[in-house]
């Protein structure tokens, strides 16, 4: 009976997922297909005997002809390698366009221990939204790069210390250096100088934070109109400079093009920021006896923090993260994190009753290594699972510095001893394991999770600190989550006064209702 119950529970869990899922036996026969698979087949004019139970999926791929044959052969080869134990995971992203719309899917093939033989699970996840967003970002980037690279002007971007970080094609060709040779070199080195130019407009702009320009004669006798454009974020902080150098005779033409370039660069940053925000949950899950509240405020135009909720049957999965980088790399890491967690829930076919936060983190670490991110990239993460019926919570920590706070009474705030290395190449090489903490919430309890931007904010004389936060949480515990969050925000703003926010401020509150 227990085995039957487990099968029914697994079937119910798979039917609740939006991904198209089938289970194959060792010969390639379809043993089971979930509701999403069957509905997709029906909506696309496929008969049950073409892709339903009893169909040999490998034979179907073998018989594919025409333009789809190469893709089918690649899929079949990958599935067979997983069946033979040569690979633990095979993935394939592919287009599957309908007459009236474009679609993309991601196939994931993983082993599955059957009753009598080695089986595999195939999940086809709809990734159309991500592909369209990537396509739009690429088109925007290509358009901007095309403008910059076809200008006759030399355009460079440099940090506050005057080291070059980027140069357009014209600058690389003029100085006969590629971008790697120019990067991290002082800007004046490209002109053959050992120190900044006299009356350098960049140095003046660093002081005034205004656009500056100067006609300058270089050591080779050439005369240039040098323009320094400060890169200032929304909080008024100077982040770097755009340097534009052009022949003085082309001044008017250059001014028109520079304005166009600046507008396109700003549009690119705005689109990247919107992309990050789109991946944040727009609606909170509705749960009996549980109230949720969140707050997110990036310190820069592009933030590195993220949070999410996933409602699976009687479980609520929640997590909060802080990744390296406050630029496009940070946004892409958070997109990777969200997709990897979703993929784990699909590929591992784990019944919701045994979802392990620690194993989820280990899976993310494995995928992180396979993605070949740069060595200095990392992800700090707390992920937990709330049993909606029993109110038990299990969570694991990968590098979040401060413990979650459990507020149980007017004078009782509990912290937890649960640490782990951030998700990175270093932690994967050390084969880190992640300890889990489990506890049961009582009526009226509040669980507060947060990244370090709140606690480590400085006002010039002291940091905000955890004790200040604990006091507010105890005093406001009778209120609803959003009211508590408003109180924290007000107190935080009064504390920092006119000091700009130094890091992303992100937190979430899970409350077991008082009655």
Distance, CA of 97 to CA of 138 (rounded, Å): 20
Domains with residue ranges and CATH for the chain = 2-126 (3.30.450.20), 137-274 (3.30.450.20), 279-512 (3.60.40.10)
What pLDDT, on a 0 to 100 scale, did the predictor assign at position 1?
45
> What rounded mean pLDDT belongs to the chain?
85
- pTM exceeds 0.75: no
Question: Residues for the chain: how many in total?
Answer: 515
Please tell me which residue, 52 or 213, carries the higher pLDDT value: 213
Is residue 390 scored above 50 in pLDDT? yes
For residue range 102-158, list pLDDT tens digits in order. 888 898 999 987 666 778 888 888 888 888 888 887 777 776 666 667 677 888 898
Distance, CA of 357 to CA of 355 (rounded, Å): 7
Residue 341: both structure tokens together: 């967690």
Residue 37: both structure tokens together: 């698979």
For residue range 14-65, list pLDDT tens digits in order. 677 778 888 888 888 888 888 888 888 777 767 666 677 888 888 888 888 8
Burial of 75 from C-beta contacts in 10 A (0-12 / 13-18 / 19+): buried
Banded pLDDT at 309 (limits 50, 70, 90)? very high
Is residue 398 scored above 90 in pLDDT? yes
Average pLDDT of span 204-209:
89
What pLDDT, on a 0 to 100 scale, did the predictor assign at position 300?
77
- Per the CB < 8 A criterion, the answer to whether 481 and 489 are in contact is no
What's the Cα-to-Cα distance from 67 to each of 191, 199, 401, 417, rounded to whole Å?
53, 63, 52, 56
- Per the CB < 8 A criterion, the answer to whether 59 and 97 are in contact is no
What pLDDT, on a 0 to 100 scale, did the predictor assign at position 430?
72
- Per the CB < 8 A criterion, the answer to whether 358 and 435 are in contact is yes
Min mean pLDDT across 331-340, 341-350, 365-374, 444-453 is at 341-350
Distance, CA of 328 to CA of 304 (rounded, Å): 9
Tally of CA atoms within 13 A in the half-sphere of 232 that contains its CB:
14
Cα dihedral across residues 230, 233, 234, 235: positive or negative: negative
Chain centroid to CA 173: 35
Alpha helices in 371-445 (DSSP H): 425-429
What pLDDT, on a 0 to 100 scale, did the predictor assign at position 415?
93
Nearest to 337 by CA among 296, 299, 295, 308: 308
Residue 103: both structure tokens together: 């679609």
Is residue 433 scored above 60 in pLDDT? yes
């Amino acid at each position: 009976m227990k085995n039957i119950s487990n099968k029914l529970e697994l079937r119910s869990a798979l039917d609740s997922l939006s991904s198209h899922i089938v289970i194959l036996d060792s010969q390639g026969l379809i043993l089971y297909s979930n509701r999403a698979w069957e509905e997709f087949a029906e909506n696309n004019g496929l008969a049950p005997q073409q892709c339903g139970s009893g169909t040999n999926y490998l034979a179907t791929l073998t018989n594919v002809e025409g333009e789809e044959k190469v893709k089918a052969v690649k899929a079949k080869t990958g599935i067979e390698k997983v069946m033979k134990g040569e690979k633990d995971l095979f993935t394939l992203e592919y287009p599957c366009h309908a007459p009236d719309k474009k679609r993309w899917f991601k196939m994931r093939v993983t082993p599955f221990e059957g009753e009598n033989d080695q089986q595999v699970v195939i999940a086809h996840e709809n990734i159309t939204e991500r592909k369209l967003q990537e396509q739009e970002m690429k088109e925007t980037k290509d358009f901007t790069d095309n403008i910059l690279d076809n200008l006759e002007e030399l355009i460079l971007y440099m940090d506050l210390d005057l080291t070059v970080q980027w140069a357009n094609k014209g600058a690389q060709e003029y100085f006969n250096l590629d971008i790697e040779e120019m990067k991290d070199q002082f800007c004046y080195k490209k002109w053959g100088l050992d120190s900044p130019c006299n009356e350098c407009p960049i140095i003046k702009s660093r002081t005034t934070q205004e656009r500056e320009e100067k006609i300058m004669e270089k050591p080779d006798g050439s005369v240039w109109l040098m323009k320094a454009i400060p890169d200032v974020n929304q909080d008024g902080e100077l982040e770097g400079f755009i340097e534009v150098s052009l022949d003085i005779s082309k001044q008017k033409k250059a001014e028109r093009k520079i304005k166009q370039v600046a507008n396109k660069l700003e549009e690119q940053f705005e689109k990247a920021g919107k992309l990050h925000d789109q991946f944040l949950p727009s609606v909170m899950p509705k749960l009996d006896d549980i109230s949720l509240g969140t707050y997110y405020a990036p310190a820069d135009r592009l933030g590195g923090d993220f949070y999410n909720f996933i409602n699976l049957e009687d479980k609520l999965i929640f997590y909060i993260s802080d990744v390296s980088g406050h630029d496009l790399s940070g946004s892409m890491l958070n997109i990777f994190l969200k997709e990897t967690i979703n993929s784990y829930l699909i590929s591992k076919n784990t019944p919701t009753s045994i979802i392990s936060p620690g194993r989820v983190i280990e899976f993310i670490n494995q995928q992180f290594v396979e993605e070949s991110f740069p060595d200095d990239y990392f992800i700090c993460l707390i992920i937990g699972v709330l049993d909606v019926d029993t109110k038990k919570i299990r969570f694991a920590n990968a590098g979040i510095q401060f413990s979650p706070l459990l507020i149980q009474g007017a004078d009782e705030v509990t912290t937890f001893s649960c640490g782990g290395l951030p998700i990175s190449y270093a932690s994967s090489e050390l084969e880190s394991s992640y300890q889990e903490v489990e506890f049961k919430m009582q009526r009226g309890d509040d669980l507060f999770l947060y990244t370090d931007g709140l606690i480590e904010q400085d006002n010039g004389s002291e940091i905000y600190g955890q004790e200040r936060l604990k006091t507010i949480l105890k005093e406001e515990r009778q209120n609803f989550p959003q009211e508590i969050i408003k109180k924290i925000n007000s107190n935080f703003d009064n504390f920092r006064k006119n000091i700009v926010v130094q890091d992303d401020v992100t937190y979430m509150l899970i409350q077991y209702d008082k009655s």
